[in-house]
Amino acid sequence: MGEPIRVAIDGPAGAGKSTVAKLLAERLGFLYLDTGALYRAATLGCIGRNIDLSKPDEVVAAVKKMFIELRGRVPYLDGRDVARDIRRPELTREVRYLAANPAVRRQMTQVAQRAAKSLDVVAEGRDAGTVIFPGAQLKVYLDATVEERAKRRHAELLEKGDNIRGEEVLEAIRSRDKSDVEREDDPLQIAVDAEVIDTTGLKIEQVVDKLEKLVKKEVAKRSE
């Protein structure tokens, strides 16, 4: 056995990263690592402790005391399964405070690296290929137009019974793009060695097929 295979999938909110990363991990038999879940769990922990999110020092002190981990795919906060709670829309709006905090980022990076152990993983996030696994054998940047991403997210929410308006979803995605790209620490950026895939108009299966081929090519190269 050689070194573990790391596949890093980054990109803006709504580009299809989660769906693609999960399916790809299943096909390859790799662990799926959702790094955004860690930022969400830390945010949930702060809200539960009534921390003023606009005060970075208080946030850091609180997060240091939390025990955040991924057990397989499931995020845990202080021993509690928080897979459902971290998806609440009102929490999604607040994650940016934690994502913009360098000390929190260092801690979450370590949690993600620890969760990967020495396993083959498909990691998904904003800095999976640039910061968490800079040596990843395959780095992918998934993109799509903001309108397409908002349309997909809107359809998802409607399906879940959330009667939100399309314009509201578009606005929320625009605002998350802005905070992901403009934050000083580990902003969302395209790794120099990343494969950029625009998923606008593509079917999920087409994207997964393409990535599966790329990973297999990478693995074959290593066993030559």
Residues found near ligand DC in the complex (CB under 6 A): 13, 35-36, 39-40, 95-96, 99, 125-128, 176, 180
Structure-token match 């607040």, residue found: 94
Of the pair 91, 219, the CB lying nearest ligand DC is at 91
- 121, containing H or E segment: strand 121-125
CB atoms within 10 A of CB 178: 11
Of the pair 159, 224, the CB lying nearest ligand DC is at 159
* Pairing between β-strand 74-77 and β-strand 80-81 as defined by DSSP bridges: antiparallel
Q: Shortest gap between Cβ of 126 and ligand DC (angstroms)? A: 4
Q: Shortest gap between Cβ of 5 and ligand DC (angstroms)? A: 19
Of the pair 28, 108, the CB lying nearest ligand DC is at 108
Q: Shortest gap between Cβ of 208 and ligand DC (angstroms)? A: 18
Q: Shortest gap between Cβ of 96 and ligand DC (angstroms)? A: 5
Of the pair 16, 125, the CB lying nearest ligand DC is at 125
Please tell me the distance from the alpha carbon of residue 12 to that of residue 7, in angstroms, as a whole number. 17
Contacts of residue 123, defined as CB under 8 A and 6 or more positions apart, other chains included, come to: 6, 7, 8, 9, 21, 33, 35, 112, 116, 132, 133, 136
